[in-house]
Amino acid sequence: MDDDMNDGSTSGEIRDKLVATKQRWAKEGRLLTGRPSHREEDRLPPGQRKTTDWPVLDLGVKPNIPLESWRLQIDGLVEQPMRLDWAQFQALPQTDFTSDIHCVTAWSRFDNRWRGVAVTDLLERVQPKPEAHFVTLHSYDTYTTNLPLEEFAVAYALLATHWEGKPLSLDHGGPVRAVVPQLYFWKSAKWVKRIAFHAADRPGFWEERGYHNHGDPWSEQRYG
């Protein structure tokens, strides 16, 4: 769902068509069921169907970043800004989590095994300032998405480098993507390059195009 809007005429046309389609879905409320549920024992949010595949969703351009060139910038309202290269990122504590994926396009995939750097470990190092309440994730393809800091700081959120025991593929956001599993998966930005902390909310790419600002699948917050 994150791709460069200016990467060639053909890919630009593909992107424009897909963006227009998804903006139309947002206006029409496509896939909404009107049946919110908060039952903890039910792992499938309203309007979702379970799949054992992992569909690839993008707009036709995937930024292939060599590991020697990859960098992660963490800045904004933090006490200790950081700029990490791949070796420095890999030297941080590595954590394994298992979580579900809930995509706004109505599929869910259970029990995904991730490995990467827990967001809580990053927060301990950068120390968000008291006035920091929101986060913007920036991707190498110019995509952005916004999160309340309290959603980003949950114990099971991470910056993933591996899925099911293997390095995360380019198709699925490698070398590093965010995983914030309690929200629809457009909030889990692929190809992450920057994490910026803010006092005020800053809607991202899809949030500015009709998608819900928060994105809770259990409340079926598909569109704003």
Sign of CA dihedral 204, 84, 57, 158: negative
Token pair of 79, please?
């006490």
Superfamily name and number for 9-38+45-219? Oxidoreductase, molybdopterin-binding domain (3.90.420.10)
Pick from 216, 209, 77, 219: nearest CA to 134: 77
Residues 192, 2 contacting (CB under 8 angstroms): no
In a structure prediction context, what are the per-residue pLDDT tens digits for the chain, which is 224 residues long?
Answer: 443 333 455 456 656 656 666 566 555 555 554 444 344 447 899 999 999 999 887 666 799 999 999 999 999 999 999 999 999 999 999 999 999 999 999 999 999 999 999 999 999 999 999 999 999 999 999 999 999 999 999 999 999 999 999 999 999 999 999 999 999 999 999 999 999 999 999 999 999 999 999 999 999 999 98
The domain ranges of the chain are 9-38+45-219
Q: What are the tens digits of pLDDT across the range 172-219?
A: 999 999 999 999 999 999 999 999 999 999 999 999 999 999 999 999
Residues 173, 159 contacting (CB under 8 angstroms): no
Distance of CA 214 to the CA centre of its chain: 12
Question: Which residue, chain included where needed, has tokens 């008291």?
Answer: 130
